Amino acid sequence: MIELTSLTPQLQAAHWGWTIAIFLWLVGLAGMGFFLNYWIRQKNFVYVLTVSGIVGTLLVVSHLGRMLNLPIAVFSSLMDLALNLQSWMLIGICLLSILCIASVFYSFICAGIFFKGEKWQAMAQSDWFNGIFALLGVCCTIYSGFLLTQAVGISLWNTALIPLLWIMSGMASSIGCIELLMIFKLINPDTVRWSRRTAFWVEIAELFTIFAFVHVALGSALTGARAGAESLISGPQSTMFWFGVIIFGSVIPLLLNLLTRSHKILACSAVLGIIGALLLRASILFAGYYDPIIF
């Protein structure tokens, strides 16, 4: 066992706390939600995804300081032709900005605001239109994962499994949102008859990816990665990880989907899955420790 008190947690230095965790959660919900929306194309789902994307983007921008700092910096870089195209933060902000603007446009079409008429509705239901949103959503979700992998000195995050994990948990929370909307009759149930079967396999894939992530970290030669994994398994984040993510966030929804068709129980299952996706991001964030500097 590694003595965690001898290491510096990122919460004390980078301060990536609940604001960033909620940002990652909302972007995953919006991103993978638009991916799933390719098959369902329901306006109420689009509204939820639009709000999620906008709120998530505002959260990450607010974390950078004053709300106007980032837009001013981007504008100045554009004027000076000095954009750093190798910066994941810049790439991500561009992707998120496009997602926000495009999703508002999509919502306006669905609501018949400004963009009225059959041609707009036909476009919103077209394969190419929803295909663009599906691709954009996946890219935003992957970006939110690679944002962590680029963190210098926090070896727990320096793995390509995080983007994959974000995709799986984003899918799980999006399906949970779909099921809630279906239960409350806000979307057509005929378009989402596949949701329970898909939710089962997504939860299985998510659990497998979590296992792989922890296993790789435990076997790492880097102290920070092993410390982070131990923090998740038996350390400060173990309660959130085992109860919030594994048991209530994954295993119980998985079993409930298999054992019952009660709408009330399925609603509880969906809520647990959505919260579990948030706690997954929070626990991995909070388990980040800087590798010690060896002289």
pLDDT digits (tens, 9 = 90+) for 148-169: 888 777 888 888 899 999 999 9
What pLDDT was estimated at residue 4? 59
CA atoms within 13 A on the CB side of 237: 26
Is 217 within 8 Å of 229 (Cβ atoms)?
Answer: yes
Strand partners, 289: 9
Output the six-digit token pair for 209. 């990816």
Supply the DSSP symbol for 66.
S
Helix axis angle for 195-218 and 252-259, nearest 10°, is 150
Question: Taking the CB of residue 238, how many other CB atoms lie within 10 A of it?
Answer: 15
All domains of the chain in start order, with CATH: 4-286 (1.20.1630.10)
What pLDDT was estimated at residue 139? 93
Work out whether the CA dihedral 110, 115, 117, 120 comes out positive or negative. negative
Output the six-digit token pair for 256. 């409930």
What pLDDT was estimated at residue 68? 52
Whole-angstrom Cα distance, residue 71 to residue 140? 19
The stretches in the chain having pLDDT less than 70 are 1-7, 11, 13-14, 63-89, 292-295
- pTM, two decimals, is 0.87
What pLDDT was estimated at residue 295? 46
What pLDDT was estimated at residue 287? 87
Q: Give 224-267 pLDDT, tens digit per residue.
A: 888 888 889 988 889 999 999 999 999 998 888 888 777 788 88
Residue with tokens 């057509």: 188
- Residue 272: which of 217, 199, 189 has the closest Cα? 199
What pLDDT was estimated at residue 193? 79
What pLDDT was estimated at residue 14? 64
User: Residue 236: in which H helix or E strand, if any?
Assistant: none
